[in-house]
């Protein structure tokens, strides 16, 4: 497919800029991606990257607390932020007449967020309540994204809980916040993306006006988070007082998302063949024919596809009745993977999955906010925002042999298995 118009530039302070004009609707998306996620937070400060994301909405050099909210919503726009393994993003979508307002807001907090003891204490409480709501008091909370990594990985960056431990969160100080900002929130460690209804020359002038005087700071060295793959099956368990049924998660290492893109895409297609839709292999076997489980899912990328650098995780999760054993579920999974590894899928079965992936990607990128965020993250992770527009074709080019190779790599002797035991009677 033809690549839509893209302009890339770099300011003197190192800020990378991606401009993607699209004048089909009078709206504009603005995002900033910082090259820091929860894998970069130091030991003893679990959850700090996410906590800092909250602090970035608490006022800035020229604006009081909640002003960011008021200025975006007062323009008819929406905004948010999110923390990922390897980056943190901030975004807003608003009528195109609000472009300069959005650029000013992002530049102002890039220059100096308002880091106060009051704001820190308040946001620690907010994050703790978020953890209670989403993890501690919810059935299967943190399953598998918090619970599986400590079984599969051995290093702190890859294994720890990015949502945070309450003790670590409570010990965070203003000095910690200032050091984190100075280290990671430098313009040279960020990508600004503007997509939607604007003129490139005008947007470039506005960006220089608002971001050009943000002081340069050195980019921190980005360590490799690589670690050896498992050489044996790894096991772990977790007791969940809210879970009505036992569950398990199986984790495998995937090809490098950045340097082995086509191998990574083959894993995406494999996940679809296994568990995407009622006709998928695991759904048909484990839900309908045998049946062994009440729910089965497979995913390439523990937090979703294209969310992280290496290492990343292929996962299979299942919820099953008390009378079923984990070994029964694992045995069926291994048999299905072995079948795919030795007998590649038929072209028709494969085409159904690749067509669904391609359609979903096109639909996702039709949404301005999704396109803005994708362009920014692909510039940050891959150094190539245009790759966003080529993904559908590359997924469509995945062959049956590629899928067989991906299935062959998901071996029982190089995986992690996490069993979730409900409060009333564990897995039998």
Coil vs helix vs strand at 29: strand
Strands 88-95 and 78-83, sheet pairing: antiparallel
Q: Which secondary structure element, helix H or strand E, spans residue 421, and what is its range?
A: strand 415-422
pLDDT in tens, 132-171: 999 999 999 999 999 999 999 999 999 999 999 999 999 9
Categorize the per-residue pLDDT at 365 as very low, low, confident or very high, splitting at 50, 70 and 90: confident
CB atoms within 10 A of CB 128: 18
Spatial distance between the Cα atoms of 189 and 217, rounded to a whole number of angstroms: 9
The whole-number pLDDT of residue 428 equals 37
Q: Which secondary structure element, helix H or strand E, spans residue 28, and what is its range?
A: strand 27-34
Contacts of 28 (CB under 8 A, 6+ apart): 93, 94, 95, 96, 98, 99, 102, 194, 195, 196, 197, 198, 368
- Whether 153 and 220 have beta carbons less than 8 Å apart is answered as no
Domains of the chain: 7-211 (3.30.830.10), 234-422 (3.30.830.10)
Residue 365 CA from chain centroid, whole number? 16
pLDDT in tens, 206-233: 999 999 999 999 999 988 999 999 999 9
The whole-number pLDDT of residue 378 equals 97
Residue 353 CA from chain centroid, whole number? 22
The whole-number pLDDT of residue 65 equals 87
pLDDT in tens, 296-344: 999 999 998 999 999 999 999 999 999 999 999 999 999 999 999 999 9
Task: State both tokens at 283.
Answer: 């759904």
Q: Which secondary structure element, helix H or strand E, spans residue 358, and what is its range?
A: helix 347-366
Token look-up 């090809």 returns 255
The whole-number pLDDT of residue 424 equals 66
Token look-up 């807001």 returns 105
> Which of 112-126, 150-164, 184-198, 356-370 shows the lowest mean pLDDT across its residues?
356-370
Beta bridge partners of 195: 20, 29
More confident residue, 202 or 362: 202
The whole-number pLDDT of residue 4 equals 82
Whole-prediction pTM: 0.95
pLDDT in tens, 372-417: 999 999 999 999 999 999 999 999 999 999 999 999 999 999 999 9
The whole-number pLDDT of residue 91 equals 97
The whole-number pLDDT of residue 362 equals 87
Categorize the per-residue pLDDT at 426 as very low, low, confident or very high, splitting at 50, 70 and 90: very low
Q: Which secondary structure element, helix H or strand E, spans residue 319, and what is its range?
A: strand 313-319
Mean pLDDT (the chain, rounded): 95
User: In the chain, pLDDT over 90 holds for what percent of residues?
Assistant: 91
Work out the widest C-alpha separation in the chain, in whole angstroms.
66
Task: State both tokens at 170.
Answer: 């409570």
Identify the CA nearest to 130 among candidates 159, 164, 158, 157. 164
What b/e string do you get for 271-289 counting C-beta neighbours within 10 Å, with b at 16 or more? Answer: bbbbbbeeebbbbebbbee
Coil vs helix vs strand at 142: coil
What b/e string do you get for 188-223 counting C-beta neighbours within 10 Å, with b at 16 or more? Answer: bbbbbbbbbbbeeeebbebbeebbeebeebeeeeee
Categorize the per-residue pLDDT at 2 as very low, low, confident or very high, splitting at 50, 70 and 90: low
> Which of 96-100, 275-279, 405-409 shows the lowest mean pLDDT across its residues?
275-279
Spatial distance between the Cα atoms of 237 and 181, rounded to a whole number of angstroms: 37
Residue 241 to residues 140, 296, 425, Cα–Cα distance (Å):
9, 21, 10
pLDDT > 60? residue 427: no
**Alpha helix positions (H), 132-260:** 149-152, 156-159, 166-170, 174-184, 200-211
The whole-number pLDDT of residue 272 equals 95
pLDDT > 60? residue 425: no
Categorize the per-residue pLDDT at 61 as very low, low, confident or very high, splitting at 50, 70 and 90: confident
Residue 262 CA from chain centroid, whole number? 19
């Amino acid at each position: 497919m033809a690549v839509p118009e893209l302009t890339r530039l770099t300011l003197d302070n190192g800020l990378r800029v991606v401009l993607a004009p699209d004048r089909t609707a009078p709206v504009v998306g603005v995002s900033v991606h910082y090259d820091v996620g929860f894998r970069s937070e130091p030991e003893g400060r679990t959850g700090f990257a996410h906590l800092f994301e909250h602090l970035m909405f608490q006022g800035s050099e020229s604006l009081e607390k909640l002003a960011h909210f008021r200025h975006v919503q007062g323009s008819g726009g929406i905004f948010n932020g999110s923390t990922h393994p390897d980056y943190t993003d901030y975004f807003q979508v608003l009528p195109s007449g609000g472009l300069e307002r959005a650029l000013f807001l992002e530049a102002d907090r890039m220059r100096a967020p308002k880091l106060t003891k009051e704001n820190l204490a308040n946001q620690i409480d907010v994050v703790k309540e978020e953890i209670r709501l989403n993890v501690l008091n919810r059935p299967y909370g943190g399953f598998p994204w918090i619970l599986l990594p400590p079984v599969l990985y051995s290093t702190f960056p890859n294994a720890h809980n990015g949502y945070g431990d309450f003790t670590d969160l409570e010990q965070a100080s203003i000095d910690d916040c200032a050091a984190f900002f100075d280290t990671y929130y430098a313009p040279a460690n960020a990508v600004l993306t503007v997509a939607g209804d604007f003129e490139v020359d005008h947007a470039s002038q506005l960006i220089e006006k608002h971001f050009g005087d943000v002081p340069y700071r050195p980019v921190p060295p980005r360590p490799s988070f690589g670690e050896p793959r498992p050489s044996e099956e790894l096991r772990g368990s977790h007791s969940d007082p809210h879970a009505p049924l036992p569950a398990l998660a199986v984790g495998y290492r995937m090809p490098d998302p950045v340097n082995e893109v086509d191998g990574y895409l083959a894993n995406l297609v494999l996940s679809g063949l296994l568990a995407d839709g009622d006709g998928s292999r695991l759904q048909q076997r484990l839900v309908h024919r045998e049946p062994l489980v009440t729910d089965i899912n497979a995913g390439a990328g523990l937090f979703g596809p294209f969310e992280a650098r290496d290492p990343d995780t292929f996962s299979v999760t299942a919820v099953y009745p008390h009378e079923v054993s984990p070994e029964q579920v694992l045995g069926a999974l291994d048999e299905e993977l072995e079948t795919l590894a030795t007998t590649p899928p038929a072209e028709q079965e494969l085409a159904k999955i690749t067509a669904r992936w391609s359609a979903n990607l096109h639909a996702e990128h039709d949404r301005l906010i999704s396109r803005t965020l994708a362009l920014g993250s692909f510039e940050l992770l891959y150094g190539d925002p245009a790759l966003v527009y080529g993904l559908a074709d590359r997924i469509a080019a995945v062959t049956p042999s590629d899928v067989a190779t991906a299935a062959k790599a998901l071996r029982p002797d190089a995986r992690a298995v996490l069993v979730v035991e409900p409060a009333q009677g564990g897995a039998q």
